[in-house]
Amino acid sequence: MGIEEFFDNIISVKLTEGGELNIIDQTLLPGEIKRINLNTKEEIWEAIKKLRVRGAPAIGVCAAYGIAKTASQIEAGNYADFEKEFLELKEYFASSRPTAVNLFWALNRMEDALKANKEKSIDEIKDALFKEAEDIRNEDVEISRGIGALGFKLLKKLKRNGKEIGIMTHCNAGTLATAKYGTATAPMYMALENGFSGDDMHVYCDETRPLLQGARLTAFELSNAGIKTTLQCDNMASILMKSGKIDIIFVGCDRVARNGDAANKIGTSGLAIIAKHYGIPFYVCAPTSTIDMKAESDKDIPIEIRDGEEITEMWYKERMAPENIGVYNPAFDVTDHSLITGIITEKGICKYPFDKAFKELGL
């Protein structure tokens, strides 16, 4: 299978020609590639909550299509009634997951599109909402390419004397988490498109407990794309970094505060601390839509706490811990800005002081 065909097969969210909101069910990967249609607002909410669709940009795209699709079913005779039901839908989708700011960003953009078209007929408004969702999706593809191009420049500087470049990543900030190229994986996909072979790079994927996005999703994606890929448990990252095998780290993120503090999948901040110790550059890859200028620092980033059963039983319903044990299961942590070498956005690489760098990008 060529890389384009592979990307098409695993596209995270799309609207079919028949108007169906269609996702790949990521909870079944890598064992089963199954695409499902989401028809009702409850199905869309559940798909986001249960991580059938996940990763900050993909959640945003799914919510945008989701609100366009469910708003198209509103039977209102006038704008005021339509807007009321639209805002109820918006609030409902916004309650699905708290950390990834892209969800709220995309829903706000959909509300802006609604209001910009308020003088039009209800049918025209419904069309405009679909168009806005489509724009959000298409822009995300270009954004990933922008991040990838800047990350690829960093990789090129590291390629020397035929030695493979050791790259570490955490969770899945790949194709499955976005509209196409991913964020943390975009430098590698851009490298493949620009003359690197899959063996020029060696990506070490943290398995990412408890839900194994690194093992199930990133290792699956990258190895299928022909990139040399190795999987390790999260607690093996330190020995790998000490061994000298890791030249650079790319991770995605769910929300960046104004001071550069960056929330990403639980375990990311530990990697950054170890990377600092060993002097390994640590880059956060983030579309500008992930930068929340309203959040001053980590204290303004809500951390999702998920069901303890994800740790005690995962999804297999086979108990791996004593009954009635207390469980702490935060889905994200925040990497302190002082540990981050740079934040790669589609518009440029931001360095400390991050608030100044973000303002220079026009945020």
Chain residues in the site for ligand MRU (CB under 6 A): 51, 54-57, 100, 171, 173, 177-178, 182-183, 213, 252-254, 264-265, 331
SS3 sequence of the chain: CCHHHHHHHCCCEEECCCCCEEEECCCCCCCCCCEEEECCHHHHHHHHHCCCCCCHHHHHHHHHHHHHHHHCCCCCCCHHHHHHHHHHHHHHHHCCCCCCHHHHHHHHHHHHHHHHCCCCCHHHHHHHHHHHHHHHHHHHHHHHHHHHHHHHHHHHHHCECCECEEEEECCCCCHHHCCCCCCCCHHHHHHHHCCCCCCCEEEEEECCCCCCHHHHHHHHHHHHCCCEEEEECHHHHHHHHHCCCCCEEEECCCEEECCCCEEEECCHHHHHHHHHHHCCCEEEECCHHHEECCCCCHHHCCCCECCCHHHHCCCCCCCCCCCCCCCCCECEEEECHHHCCEEEECCEEECCCHHHHHHHCCC
Q: Which is nearer to ligand MRU, 13 or 171 (CB)?
A: 171
Q: How near is the Cβ of 306 to ligand MRU at its closest, in Å?
A: 8
CA-CA-CA-CA dihedral for 338, 244, 145, 135, to nearest 10: -60
Q: How near is the Cβ of 27 to ligand MRU at its closest, in Å?
A: 11
Could you tell me which residues are beta bridge partners of residue 168? 204, 249
255 a known binding residue? no
Supply the angle between the helices 122-158 and 186-193 in degrees, to the nearest 10: 70
Q: How near is the Cβ of 58 to ligand MRU at its closest, in Å?
A: 7
Residue 112 designated active-site? no
213 a known binding residue? yes
Q: How near is the Cβ of 148 to ligand MRU at its closest, in Å?
A: 12
Q: Which is nearer to ligand MRU, 198 or 252 (CB)?
A: 252
**Residue nearest ligand MRU, Cβ-based:** 252
Residue 134 CA: distances (Å) to CA of 41, 259, 303, 340: 18, 31, 29, 33
264 a known binding residue? yes
232 a known binding residue? no
Q: How near is the Cβ of 252 to ligand MRU at its closest, in Å?
A: 3
- Residue 58: which of 143, 125, 115, 1 has the closest Cα? 143
Q: How near is the Cβ of 363 to ligand MRU at its closest, in Å?
A: 18
Q: Which is nearer to ligand MRU, 53 or 68 (CB)?
A: 53
Q: Which is nearer to ligand MRU, 331 or 340 (CB)?
A: 331
Q: Which is nearer to ligand MRU, 61 or 67 (CB)?
A: 61
Q: Which is nearer to ligand MRU, 247 or 254 (CB)?
A: 254
Residue from 140, 200, 234, 254 carrying the catalytic annotation: 254
Which residues contribute to the annotated binding site?
54-56, 97, 213, 264-265
* Residues known to be catalytic: 254
Which residues contribute to the annotated binding site for substrate?
54-56, 97, 213, 264-265
